[in-house]
Structure 1
Amino acid sequence: MSRATAAYERLTDAMLETDPECQNDGRFVLDDQPAHTLSYICRACPLFDLCRDYAEIERPKGGVWAGKRYSSNSKAGTDE
């Protein structure tokens, strides 16, 4: 099992018991929403550490993860 898969499984397992603060909030997937305007929501989320761990390993192809924006045209999260 890859590190990314293991991190994702830990995150999804935790989501079975705790809803992430970003759930059903479309701003986390919009490209025009700066990550810094959402980071306060991420910091308050009980799943922040698991989300950050996954995102740092996997570098998702889009969205805001643990207060950082990821996109298909960047290799690292940004605070835009």
Structure 2
Amino acid sequence: MTKATDAFERLQFAMFTTDPACKDDDRFISDVVPAATLAPICRTCPVYDLCAAYGELDRPKAGIWAGKRYKTNTKKGN
């Protein structure tokens, strides 16, 4: 098991026992809403620390995790 997988499992368990601030809020999976707009909501979330830990380890390519959007390098080589 990777560290990212372990972090995700801890986050997932916490989300079963505690509602995250982003629950049922589609803005957190939108590609057009700036992360900075949603970051204040994230900071009030009871699973913020677990979400941040997972985000830093896995760097998800979609969604906003603990107030941050992880981008992939889209620069094309020659």
Q: Same fold (TM over 0.5)?
A: yes
The offset of 1:70, in angstroms, is 2.4
Give ranges in structure 2 of 5+ residues lacking alignment: 74-78
CA deviations over 1:8-59 (Å, ceiling 9, x no partner): 0100111111011001101011111000000010000000000000000001
Indicate the percent of aligned positions where both proteins have the same amino acid.
Answer: 56
- Paired positions, count: 73
Q: Is 2:44 the partner of 1:44?
A: yes
Higher strand share: 1
**Off by >6 Å, runs of 4+ in structure 1:** none
Higher helix share: 2
SS of 2:30 mapped into structure 1:
coil
Question: Structure 1 length as normaliser, TM-score?
Answer: 0.86
Q: 1:48 and 1:37 mapped to 2: Cα distance?
A: 16
Give ranges in structure 1 of 5+ residues lacking alignment: 76-80
Larger Rg: 2
When the two chains are superposed, the root-mean-square deviation of aligned CA atoms in Å is 1.0
